[in-house]
Chain A
Amino acid sequence: MLRLGRLWRSSLQLRTVTISVVMSAVAVGIIGAYMSFSIGDNLFDSRLALALSASERSNAAAQSRFDAVQQTSGLDLDRVMDTAADAALSSSSTSAGTSIAILRTPGQSGARLPVDKLSAGLDPDVVISEGLRSDVESAEERRLFWQSVSLPREDNGSDPGLVVGSVLDVPGSGQYEMYLVYNLSDTQQALSFVQATLWLGMATLVVLIGAVTFTVVRLIVGPVRLAAETSQKLAAGELEVRIPEKGDDVIATLARSFNGMADSLQAQITKLATLSQVQQRFVSDVSHELRTPLTTIRLASDVLYDQRDDFPPATARTTELLHTQVERFELLLADLLEMSRYDAGAVDMELEPTNLVRLVEDAIDAMGTLSASKGSELRLEAPGGYFEAEVDARRIRRILQNLLANAVDHGEGRPIVVYVDSNKTAVAIAVRDYGVGMSVAAMERVFDRFWRADPSRQRSTGGTGLGLAISLEDAALHGGWLEVWSAPGEGSCFRLTLPRVRGTMVTESPLELPPVPAATKEDA
């Protein structure tokens, strides 16, 4: 049933053909029925008229026989009856057979009584109803009465029939009723034949309509389906597909506009791809061009820096400043190049199944001296679990370094806790500090490029202003999230959520933001 429903919805042709066939079948059925009844009625009426006029003649013929008898007496009234009946019948013969019954009206007195005349095989009680007999008997004027009846057949079937009754005056015997029974089976046959032909014609018409609709719809749906399939291919990336344009009708117009659209899409996409390649190459070339002189400067500054003890104080200080700024310049250049790679879409990821807890441990170790110098204790909280995920370890390491450095910077010497947790689809790392925190306005802008919370703060870890922006891009590259929570005076928490397997969607993070410390959890 579902299959049918789906087929119905998906096939325009099926729907159209079915609807047109059904509608035309209904129309044809109504018309056919009307015609059939009409013809039937008509046939019946004309047959009735024939029967009535024949009966009239028959009555006259029979009556005249009886009237003729008056002149002569001593004739056998039965024989007269026969003659009268024959005369009547001969005036009313039909191909299907006419029967006659001449019955005496009951309740009369009289002398000589001819026997009731009945045709062979005619059972008056079956055929001639009481109602008809009473009508004929009690008629006040000479007229005909008729009734449709059903004539039984030998094979237990029945034929349609017509009984026409009229009165006869038998001299000396009284009133007799003459009933002529007409078998209408021949008319019935004619009618059936007409009806059959009619229905056959109608059915053929419906089938033809179905076929015509099918062909017409095919003519229309064909190009539309082609357009739909071509669109799908275009959307899938085959930029060269086009629809053949033939003729001048609306389908050709569709084809032409589709092809125009595809042309413009292809041009645009190619242009963008070329642009991206050009930008990539530019980035690459710039990087080379900038880096070489920078290397020389770096080396020179390092040589001077190593010898600063031999310089007069001002020169020594100059050398120190030179050294730190060259370092800063280097970092800035590296970060800028990284950002431009993201912008050009030219990043390559080296994904490997990595144990994230180990990565976090290494990052914490690397940050050891720096955090100690600020007085912040670095702690890891990772409940047991399966912490492998498919990630680019270099990028995750970079994110961790950035988050930890920021935490140490703004941690005000208080402890920094790193939480690691996971669920079935994702792994999360949160870096929580209890330092200065930031306002809601600052939180909204913290991931912006070159944005700093407080430019005047002493940044011991250096920093180009691009750290969080790059971290955000790296997180997004993995299909993960990087989010922040903060409250002024209470500290901040940055939460990184990554999918375990590349390509799955992260729907919820295994850690809360900010995470609930284990101690509190146990108490609760």
Chain B
Amino acid sequence: MNAKILVVDDDTALAEMIGIVLRAEGFEISFCADGAEALGAFRAVQPDLVLLDLMLPGMDGIEVCARIREESGIPIIMLTAKSDTSDVVKGLESGADDYVVKPFNPKELVARIRTRLRPSPETPSGTLAVGDLVLDVAGHEVLRGTGKINLTPLEFELLLALALKPQQVFTREMLLEQVWGYHYKADTRLVNVHVQRLRAKVELDPDNPRIVMTVRGVGYRAGSPG
């Protein structure tokens, strides 16, 4: 079955062009050109992935992203002409999994889409403990005591990667490769923002992290159980 992708961009020429490129790769494409209609289109189409432009008429792309996130954890890739850190961070914080700066290499875009859509690799079933959390690997759930914490698939994979090797310190590059699937020098800001998002969700006190610990000058590692 071909994956369905919803392209939300107000530049119709660009959207069409993206459509041509992605169809050649075997994806099914739907379009939406207005932010206000994006949510409706999302519900109607039920895509496997959303390509979302930030600057939209009707409703701002950030807003659309946040709304979609409320309903679903499907991969969202931001398309943006603005590469300033503040804009990127804002987009990532609102729920996007990745971002692509215009103009982009179409092959790059396709690679990132495929990465986001790939099925999770075989992981040992059972549960893992990180700090005071319990990770249900097969069910993709995180529990603190009896309370469930909602994580997007990406956030879960990030936490899982750290938890599978508790003693290991992961550099940002390693995380980019393992969790995002990038085999070249990508922007480590991605990792920074997602760690912040993850911490905001799972840490009791985000300023004193116990689950995802920073190792200064190197990267991150999982906190010990208990």
A residues at B contact (CB < 8 Å): 284, 287-289, 291-300, 302-303, 330, 348, 350, 352-353, 362, 366, 388, 393-394, 397
Contact = CB atoms under 8 A, between A and B. Distances in A.
Contact of A388 (B18, B20, B21, B217): B217
Contact of B14 (A299, A350, A352): A299
A296 B11 CA distance: 9
A366 B82 contact: no
Nearest to A289: B81
B55 interface: yes
Interface stretch (B100-108, B144-152, B204-212): B100-108
A200 to B, nearest CB: 74
B102 A284 contact: no
Interface string B82-93: 101110000000
A115 B51 CA distance: 148
Q: Interface residues of A: mostly helix, strand, loop or mixed?
A: helix
Contacts of B217: 352-353, 388
B85 A397 contact: no
B21 A303 contact: yes
Given A295-B103, A298-B103, A303-B21, A353 B84 contact: no
B103 A353 contact: no
Nearest to B20: A303
Contacts of B81: 287-289, 291-292, 295
A330 B17 contact: no
Most chain A CB within a 10 A radius of its CB, from B17, B82, B86 = B17
B106 A294 contact: no
Given A287-B82, A388-B217, A299 B11 contact: no
A167 B186 CA distance: 132
B62 to A, nearest CB: 15
A294 B21 CA distance: 15
Given A295-B14, A299-B14, A348 B85 contact: yes
Given A295-B14, A362-B185, A350 B102 contact: no
B102 A292 contact: yes
B185 A397 contact: yes
B82 A284 contact: yes
Given A288-B55, A302-B21, A302-B105, A296 B85 contact: no
Contacts of B187: 394
17 contacts: A288-B55, A291-B81, A291-B103, A293-B11, A293-B13, A295-B14, A296-B13, A296-B17, A299-B14, A299-B17, A299-B21, A299-B106, A302-B106, A302-B107, A353-B217, A362-B185, A366-B185
A397 B186 CA distance: 12
Contacts of A287: 81-82
A302 B82 CA distance: 22
Nearest to B13: A296
Contacts of A330: 103
Contacts of B107: 302
Contact of A291 (B86, B102, B185): B102
Given A287-B82, A350-B85, A353-B216, A296 B185 contact: no
Most chain A CB within a 10 A radius of its CB, from B14, B20, B24, B188 = B14
Size class of the B contact interface (CB-based, 8 Å)? 20 to 34
A289 B84 CA distance: 15
Interface in B1-25: 11, 13-14, 17-18, 20-21, 24
A159 B20 CA distance: 131
A300 B20 CA distance: 9
Interface of B: 11, 13-14, 17-18, 20-21, 24, 55, 81-82, 84-86, 102-107, 185, 187-189, 216-217
A303 B86 CA distance: 32
A303 B106 contact: yes
Nearest to B18: A299
A350 B191 CA distance: 14
A295 B102 contact: yes
Given A288-B81, A292-B11, A292-B81, 12 more contacts: A294-B103, A295-B17, A295-B102, A296-B11, A298-B103, A298-B106, A299-B106, A303-B20, A303-B21, A353-B216, A362-B185, A393-B188
Nearest to B55: A288
Contacts of A352: 217
B200 to A, nearest CB: 20
Contacts of A297: 103
Nearest to A302: B106
Contacts of B86: 348
Contact of A295 (B55, B84, B104): B104
Nearest to A284: B82
Contacts of A397: 185
A303 B21 CA distance: 7
Contacts of B13: 293, 296
Contacts of A289: 81
A288 B24 CA distance: 27
A350 B105 CA distance: 25
A402 to B, nearest CB: 15
A348 B88 CA distance: 13
Contacts of B11: 292-293, 296
Contact of B84 (A294, A303, A348): A348
Contacts of B105: 298, 302
Contacts of B103: 291, 294-295, 297-298, 330
Most chain B CB within a 10 A radius of its CB, from A288, A292, A298, A300 = A292
Most chain B CB within a 10 A radius of its CB, from A299, A303, A348 = A299
Nearest 6 pairs between A and B by C-beta?
A: A291-B81, A288-B81, A295-B103, A299-B17, A295-B102, A298-B103
Contacts of B24: 303
Nearest to A298: B103
A34 B24 CA distance: 117
B104 to A, nearest CB: 7
B102 A294 contact: yes
Contacts of A303: 17, 20-21, 24, 106
Most chain A CB within a 10 A radius of its CB, from B81, B82, B84, B104 = B81
B199 to A, nearest CB: 18
Contacts of A292: 11, 14, 81, 102
B189 to A, nearest CB: 8
B17 A300 contact: yes
A169 B18 CA distance: 153
A352 B24 CA distance: 42
Contacts of B102: 291-292, 294-295
A112 B104 CA distance: 152
A460 B143 CA distance: 55
Nearest to A294: B103
Contacts of A298: 103-106
Contacts of A302: 21, 105-107
